[in-house]
Amino acid sequence: MNKAEFIKALDIELARFDASEKKEILAYYNELIDEKIERGYSEAQAVASIGKIKDVSAGIKADLVNIRLTKRSSLSKISNSFWMLILVLFASPILLPVGIAFLAIFFSVSVTLLSLVLGFGLGAVVTAVAAIPIVIKAYANLGIGGAILVSGVILVVIAAFALLALVIFRVTIDLLKAIVTGLVKIIKKKSK
């Protein structure tokens, strides 16, 4: 296996990883192989010395679980810290108003942004449904060329809606995460 093949295979093996973490890992192995080649290894020897890709990724996965790095943890992490926060805030009379304010902010942000997501998502679906008669009409009036042109425009509109929904969804998750972790940090600092 040469270096490019190794990196490609490792890239695929790490598909579940957070993109920035994956980049770090690939850069690390890329650099290691280059260092070895610089010291007289052949490319194949350098790659072979790293070991099996399965072992490499297994080691990383086993060790990194503690450092908020895998893609999937994002949502469950929010819900974990969310319930911890609720418990802490509502257990203390001093923090109770903070808890109520936090809940209000948390829900207004999630409701506002998620309704936007739903709106754009619905927009995509409605456009798709509404498109059918329009495309049929275009075919009747303008022939196949017109129908293709009109479908193209409609697909762009649907894609735009879907993309907007997706982007806002990600932003919502990140924002909620920031609110929760920010508050956790403040409380930790205060309690020290």
Partner 1 sequence: MDIQTKKGLLDVVVLSTLIKGDSYGYKIVQEVSRVVDISESTLYPILRRLEAAAALTTYSVEHRGRLRKYYKLTNEGYGKVKLFIEDWDEIKRVYNFIVANARGKWRQ
Which residue from 7, 14, 47, 60 is in contact with partner 1, where contact means CB under 8 A? 60
Joined together, the tokens standing for residue 184 give 């956790």
Residue 4 is a binding residue for partner 1 (CB under 8 A)? no
Q: Is 64 in the site for partner 1 (CB under 8 A)?
A: yes
- Per CB under 8 A, which region of 65-73, 90-98, 129-137, 174-182 contacts partner 1? 65-73
Report the residue number, 66 or 76, with the smaller CB distance to partner 1.
Answer: 66
Phi, psi of 14 (to 5 degrees): -95, 20
Burial 96-121 (b: 16+ CB within 10 A, else e): eebbeebeeebeeeeeebeebbeebb
Query: Segment contacting partner 1 (CB under 8 A): 58-66, 114-122, 128-136, 139-147?
Result: 58-66
Residue whose CB is less far from partner 1, 51 or 145: 51
**55 lies in the binding site for partner 1 (CB under 8 A):** yes
11 burial class (0-12, 13-18, 19+ CB within 10 angstroms)?
A: middle
Amino acid making up residue 151 = S
